[in-house]
């Protein structure tokens, strides 16, 4: 066997192992396949600065990229094992064993570890060795040639496709997703629907609407595959520095009654002028009421919340108990939360970036102190408190316009503080006041617009917001790490 044939054999063997592992994971009803577990491990081990750089480049495609990187690594290592098989077999076997150990470790490290996952990893490793040996023997006979290798390879590839297809058809996760979607659709929640307040949307052409549709709402989290939780199996355990521990069910939340609130959420990874932000109406139970009921012991200053998939978040208790609309949300835009956005229950806290407040699929609350823990993102160098900064964004014009009257428009925000004004300037000139739309409260973004008498040529448009406390947006440029980007948003446009 040539080195090239050995490498190809290893890649094919790795693909066959992935197909077998996915099929077995479906048959024995694993919560996550080894590939997904490895992907989650990659995300967990990625330093904060690197993760931020990836999000900045690929945005919400970071999850497919994580899975693709795992599959590529498996393929390359499989190819290397195949290349070594006839010349350095002990090394090849050691590499396969290393892959099995790494995958098993990833499976065991997940919150819902199951011994069956380790068995799947061992079987997958065995498949790699068996397929490489099969393809090696296909070229070992004296009269074997390229056709024999290709014929055997084709048979293995066909079997891989069949096994992979069977895994998809048998997929327990796919069935589970269908079951959860049916349960979600059957819920009859006491919401009043969505009526956009009058005057909040200026109706500027090409500007995103004031109300962000659910399917356009940004999603940034660490879950490669969203947790699938039956609402009537969901529980929230509340413990730690409290007078009375408590466990809440979904029905308990419904029995308390739901409160509606317009709230804009944004991600700390949002670059100046970026789109990792959305505005909608949420319905849920006030967090303050629950914390008042369990009683907070003296000295506590944080709520450590944990997602069903193990992600953790630390939120200042002050932001949960000062009367703002901090909610355990059950609905989004008048319907039960979509699965990718936290169904059945998530946290929503105006005024804080999502990484310190907006836990999806939340299942555990520990009332504690910041000095006693490090949450997922703070372990990676992000700030502890995460208050939202005063920001503006320019949405129109895009990149070009005709000379004359040109509408410049965008949005501005600083949740739970509010925006009192927005100003625009052209080519570094004097600041000109823009017109603001109405808002229902200080917890949403506000649309703004300004009319520009534009001359032909290339121009730079900048904007800045001033919050309701009279503090203007800073001109100092800062990266998103550790607690949010700053600077004026600016765009270049060509006027013809």
* Structure tokens given for 158: 């066909």
Q: Identify the pLDDT of residue 58.
A: 64
What residues pair up with 409 in beta bridges, in sequence order? 396, 449
**CATH topology (fold) of 214-380:** Sulfite Oxidase; Chain A, domain 2 (3.90.420)
Evaluated on CA atoms 140, 145, 150, 151, the torsion sign reads negative
Whole-prediction pTM:
0.83
Sheet holding 432-433, edge to edge: 400-401, 490-495, 457-467, 419-426, 432-433
CB neighbours (10 Å) of residue 205? 8
Q: Which 3 state secondary structure label does DSSP give 241? A: coil
Q: Residues 377-406, buried b or exposed e (16+ Cβ, 10 A)?
A: bbebebbbbbbbbbbbbbbbbeeebeeeeb
Per the rule left: phi > 0, alpha: psi between -120 and 50, beta: everything else, 95 is alpha
* Structure tokens given for 178: 């269908």
Q: Identify the pLDDT of residue 231.
A: 96
Q: Identify the pLDDT of residue 71.
A: 87
Q: Identify the pLDDT of residue 441.
A: 96
Task: Please choose, from the candidates 258, 259, 251, the residue with its C-alpha nearest in 3D space to the C-alpha of residue 235.
Answer: 251
Q: Sort 257 into a burial class: Cβ within 10 Å, 0-12 / 13-18 / 19+.
A: exposed
Kindly give the interhelix angle for 3-27 and 62-84, rounded to the nearest 10 degrees: 130
Domain with CATH 3.90.420.10 in the chain: 214-380
Note the Cα 161 to chain centre separation in Å: 30
Q: How far apart are CA 180 and CA 51, in angstroms?
A: 30
* Structure tokens given for 285: 């139970």
**Contact between 153 and 13 (Cβ < 8 Å):** no
Sheet holding 235-240, edge to edge: 246-249, 235-240, 362-368, 302-307, 312-316
* pLDDT values of the chain reduced to their tens digit, one per residue, 496 residues: 678 888 988 888 898 888 888 888 877 778 788 888 888 888 888 776 777 667 666 666 677 777 888 888 988 999 999 989 888 899 999 999 999 999 999 999 888 777 888 999 999 999 999 888 888 877 665 555 555 555 655 665 555 555 555 555 555 567 778 889 999 999 988 766 678 999 999 999 999 999 999 999 999 888 888 999 999 999 999 999 999 999 999 999 999 999 999 999 999 999 999 999 999 999 999 999 999 999 999 999 999 999 999 999 999 999 999 999 999 999 999 999 999 999 999 999 999 999 999 999 999 999 999 999 999 999 988 999 999 999 999 999 988 999 999 999 999 999 999 999 999 999 999 999 999 999 999 999 999 999 999 999 999 999 999 999 999 999 999 999 999 999 999 999 999 9
């Amino acid at each position: 066997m040539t080195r090239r044939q050995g490498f190809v054999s290893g890649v094919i063997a790795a693909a066959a192992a992935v197909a077998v592992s996915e099929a077995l994971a479906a048959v024995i009803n694993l919560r996550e396949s080894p590939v997904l577990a490895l992907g989650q491990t990659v995300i967990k081990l990625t330093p904060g600065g690197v993760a931020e750089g990836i999000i900045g480049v690929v945005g919400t495609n970071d999850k497919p990229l994580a899975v693709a990187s795992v599959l590529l690594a498996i393929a390359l290592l499989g190819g290397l094992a195949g290349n070594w098989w006839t010349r350095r077999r002990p090394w090849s076997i050691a590499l396969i064993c290393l892959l099995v150990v790494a995958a098993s470790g990833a499976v065991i490290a997940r919150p819902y570890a199951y011994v069956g996952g380790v068995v799947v990893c061992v079987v997958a490793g065995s498949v790699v060795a068996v397929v490489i040996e099969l393809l090696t023997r296909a070229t070992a006979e004296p009269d074997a040639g390229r056709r024999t290798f290709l014929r055997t390879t084709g048979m293995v590839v066909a079997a891989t496709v069949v096994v992979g297809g069977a895994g998809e058809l048998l997929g327990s996760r796919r069935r589970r997703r269908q079951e959860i979607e049916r349960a979600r659709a059957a819920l009859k929640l006491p919401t009043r629907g969505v009526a956009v307040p009058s005057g909040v949307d200026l109706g500027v052409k090409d500007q995103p609407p004031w109300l962000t549709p659910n399917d356009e709402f940004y999603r940034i989290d660490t879950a490669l595959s969203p947790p699938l939780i039956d609402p009537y199996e969901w529980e929230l355990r509340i413990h730690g520095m409290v007078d009375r521990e408590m466990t809440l069910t979904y029905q308990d939340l419904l029995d308390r009654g739901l409160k509606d609130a317009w709230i804009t959420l944004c991600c700390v990874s949002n670059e100046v002028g970026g789109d990792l932000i959305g505005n909608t109406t949420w319905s849920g139970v006030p967090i303050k009421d629950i914390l008042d009921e369990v009683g907070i012991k003296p000295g506590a200053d944080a709520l450590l919340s944990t997602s069903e998939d193990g992600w953790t978040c630390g939120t200042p208790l002050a932001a949960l108990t000062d009367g703002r609309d901090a909610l355990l949300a059950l609905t989004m835009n008048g319907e039960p939360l979509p699965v990718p956005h936290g169904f059945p229950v998530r946290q929503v806290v105006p005024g804080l970036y999502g990484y310190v407040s907006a836990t999806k699929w939340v299942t555990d609350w520990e009332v504690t102190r910041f000095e006693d823990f490090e949450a997922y993102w703070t372990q990676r160098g992000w700030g502890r408190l995460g208050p939202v900064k005063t920001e503006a964004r320019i949405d129109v014009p895009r990149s070009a316009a005709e000379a004359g009257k040109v509408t410049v428009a965008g949005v501005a925000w600083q949740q739970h503080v509010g925006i009192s004004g927005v100003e625009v300037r052209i080519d570094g000139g004097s600041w000109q006041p823009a017109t603001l739309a109405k808002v229902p409260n200080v917890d949403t973004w506000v649309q703004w617009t300004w009319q520009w008498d534009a001359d032909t040529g290339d121009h730079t448009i900048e904007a800045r917001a001033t919050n309701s406390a009279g503090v203007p947006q800073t001109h100092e440029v800062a990266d998103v790490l550790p607690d949010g980007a700053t600077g004026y948003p600016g765009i270049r446009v060509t006027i013809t």
